Amino acid sequence: MKELAAIAEKIRNGDRRALSRAITLVESLRSDHRQQALDLLAACGTGRQALRIGLSGTPGVGKSTFIESFGLFLVRQGLRVAVLAVDPSSSRSGGSILGDKTRMALLSREPHAFIRPSPSQTQLGGVARRTRDAVHLCEAAGFDVILIETVGVGQSETMVAQMSDLFLLLLAPAGGDELQGVKRGIMEIADLILVNKADGDLRAQAQRTCADYSGALRLLRKRPQDPEGFPKALLVSAIEEQGLEAVWGEIQALADWRREKGIWETTRKAQALHWFSEEVRSQLLEELVRDPNLATVLAQEEGAVARGEAAPAQAAAKIVRQFIESNNA
Amino acid sequence: MKELAAIAEKIRNGDRRALSRAITLVESLRSDHRQQALDLLAACGTGRQALRIGLSGTPGVGKSTFIESFGLFLVRQGLRVAVLAVDPSSSRSGGSILGDKTRMALLSREPHAFIRPSPSQTQLGGVARRTRDAVHLCEAAGFDVILIETVGVGQSETMVAQMSDLFLLLLAPAGGDELQGVKRGIMEIADLILVNKADGDLRAQAQRTCADYSGALRLLRKRPQDPEGFPKALLVSAIEEQGLEAVWGEIQALADWRREKGIWETTRKAQALHWFSEEVRSQLLEELVRDPNLATVLAQEEGAVARGEAAPAQAAAKIVRQFIESNNA
């Protein structure tokens, strides 16, 4: 426990190696590690609030280049930047730690930047929980901006949005009829749409794409969390480092507006309670799944539900009753 | 229990009064009623699969008129139609039972139609679970089509989509710049967008609106569950009963394609397992919240999480540990 306090102290002082090991601890699936991780989270306490920015974009839109350029831009403004990747489909064995550092070679060498690849868990729920803990640790370590990057597989964008203050969607220029398909749900959560590669031969095409999405955004209902003119589509060139200042300006304007209107605090509070309730539900479910007395009946009931032979409510009641009884025995 | 078997028998024979009382039972929040409801669900067994159609649209688009016209159209095809309303904001006390029958006066008089207003619970989770049970009962009662209508408050559309085979969005014609705002998430789940009121003075405007949304749909990525050309925007006039045959044709074409490709069964199975897992998690949480030993500490931890003083994972672990111990005592 004394050691834990020392690690927590290091993290609070912004020691990147200690932070990195703490994140490895929260990612561990071993239950003794889990207990240590919870103690460490408690010991770190809550730091000041970083700006948590969710970022999504399909492969090939230049996400790594954008994060590198934008991260360097922020570091040059005197800000400390953490990058957390969320990719439920990734497997660490492929060497993605090296991969992430290679793809952001300049940013990873900055003393005020911290880059962390996705946890290797394949279940989105697991990735969500560990990323949430990592965000907590990065705030304790005093980072100013936390970029949470997702590849946009399945529900991962919604999940990242639930731990972000605002959300960026990166798109590539597309031509005429073959306008790239934007995953539908993303329009619900994007605060800024950034059309990347607004450079060289693609510049005009990027402008048209940006105009198309500006038009599409106007078709959608204004959300209560948006000031006039948001969500917005902007042009950037990550490779030529163009448009980054405008992006940062819009981010700050949006964050300031939401802080002023009380939306920032309300959202943070709602997010925290959402994660608390999710954690209680997940941890309870884990206790249930771990119960050796229930393994057989759980498999049976799942089979019956999948085959349509039992109503979900009825099968669930059976399992929960047995779990409570098994704990009372 | 003997009585239960008799009620189940009546439901399976399509007795609407027995069905109506059974739905009242599944909607009850009393825990003894809940146990009876689960027994009744089990006794009813699983009927053949109905076509479950989710339907959303903001107030004023003519949803009631559309359901009445479309419901009557289906009844005239020899089909038995159930209408379930989902409105987490409704309160039964206002007399919405009468309300629903008044607003669909002709359909409610049809012997082959069954109309059920929203359960009066204010929590979306509660409404979701009871509606899911009501769908199960309507299938046991042998209905061919179950229309699940939602007003589109908050997450209710996503919830309805998770218990539907396909989803319709009803829109009203809108002019030029003031194109009505479509809630963003809805584009993720709509299979058919129906522009209503394509009649009289609004006809031309409805045509332009339909063309606009056809264009917007083309900007979005094709989903794996869609054949070529879907999602689709169509014109209807509920009041003049125009376009209903085309809507039914598209619904059948889509359903047939999904059945043929195995998507129908896969989706149904995934939906059932989703509800099972949700039920287990919710019922466990209910047991925890009901535990009198935990009330104080639960309120304390929620407060700490909301104020940002405790990490959600850490607060949850504390609660779950106490719950397990409280059951072991």
Give the model confidence (pLDDT) of B15-45 as tens digits. 999 999 999 998 888 878 888 888 898 888 8
Residue bearing the bigger pLDDT, A217 or A221: A217
Asked if A312 lies within 8 A of B279 by C-beta distance, the reply is yes
Residue B115 per-residue DSSP state? E
CATH topology of domain B47-261: Rossmann fold (3.40.50)
Interior/surface letters B283-311, b for 16+ CB within 10 angstroms, e for the rest? bbbebbeeeeebeeebeebbebbeebebb
Tell me the two tokens of residue B182: 């479509």
Distance from CA of B7 to the nearest CA of A (A): 17
Task: Check residue B54 and give its pLDDT.
Answer: 95
Which residues sit opposite B82 in a β-bridge? B114, B146
Asked if B317 lies within 8 A of A284 by C-beta distance, the reply is no
Nearest to A180 by CA among A86, A64, A61: A61
Asked if A279 lies within 8 A of B317 by C-beta distance, the reply is yes
Distance CA B157, CA A184 (A): 14
Residues in B touching A288 (Cβ below 8 Å): 280, 284
Task: Check residue A175 and give its pLDDT.
Answer: 55
For A231, name the nearest residue in chain B, comparing CA atoms only. B184
Tell me the two tokens of residue A40: 């460490």
Task: Check residue B328 and give its pLDDT.
Answer: 67
Option in A189, A269, A314 nearest B42 (CB):
A314
Which residues sit opposite A150 in a β-bridge? A56, A86
Strands (DSSP E) contained in A18-135 are 51-56, 81-86, 113-116
Backbone φ/ψ region at B76: left (φ over 0), alpha (ψ -120 to 50), beta: alpha
Interface of A with B in 235-294 (CB under 8 A): 268-269, 272-273, 275-285, 287-288
For B306, name the nearest residue in chain A, comparing CA atoms only. A269
Please state the φ and ψ torsions of residue B248, each to the nearest 5 degrees.
-65, -40
Backbone φ/ψ region at A180: left (φ over 0), alpha (ψ -120 to 50), beta: beta
Asked if B273 lies within 8 A of A182 by C-beta distance, the reply is no
Give the model confidence (pLDDT) of B53-84 as tens digits. 999 987 778 888 999 999 999 999 999 999 99
For B296-328, give the DSSP string.
HHHHHHHHHHHTTSS-HHHHHHHHHHHHHHHHH
Interior/surface letters A167-194, b for 16+ CB within 10 angstroms, e for the rest? bbbbbbbbeeeebbebbbbbbbbbbbbb
Interface of B with A in 306-325 (CB under 8 A): 306, 308-317, 319-320, 323-324
The answer, yes or no, to whether ipTM is higher than 0.85 is no
Option in B216, B276, B309 nearest A219 (CB):
B216
**Neighbouring C-beta atoms of residue B203, cutoff 10 Å:** 14
Interface of A with B in 171-210 (CB under 8 A): 179-185, 187-189
CATH code for the part of the protein at A273-328: 1.10.287
Backbone φ/ψ region at B278: left (φ over 0), alpha (ψ -120 to 50), beta: alpha
Asked if A311 lies within 8 A of B136 by C-beta distance, the reply is yes
3-state secondary structure of B21: helix
CB of A328 less than 8 A from some CB of B: yes
Residue bearing the bigger pLDDT, A48 or B93: A48
Whole-model pTM over 0.80: no
Element (H, E) at A193: strand A192-195
Option in B38, B272, B308 nearest A308 (CB):
B272
Alpha-carbon distances of A329 from A297, A322, A326, rounded to whole Å: 17, 10, 5
Tell me the two tokens of residue B215: 């264009």
Domain locations along chain A: 47-261, 273-328
Is B231:B191 a contact under the CB 8 Å cutoff? yes
Backbone φ/ψ region at B201: left (φ over 0), alpha (ψ -120 to 50), beta: alpha
Distance from CA of A227 to the nearest CA of B (A): 16
Domains B47-261 and B273-328 share a fold: no
Local confidence band at A158 (pLDDT 50, 70, 90 cut-offs): confident
Task: Check residue B244 and give its pLDDT.
Answer: 97
Distance CA B112, CA B98 (A): 19
End-to-end CA distance of chain B: 33
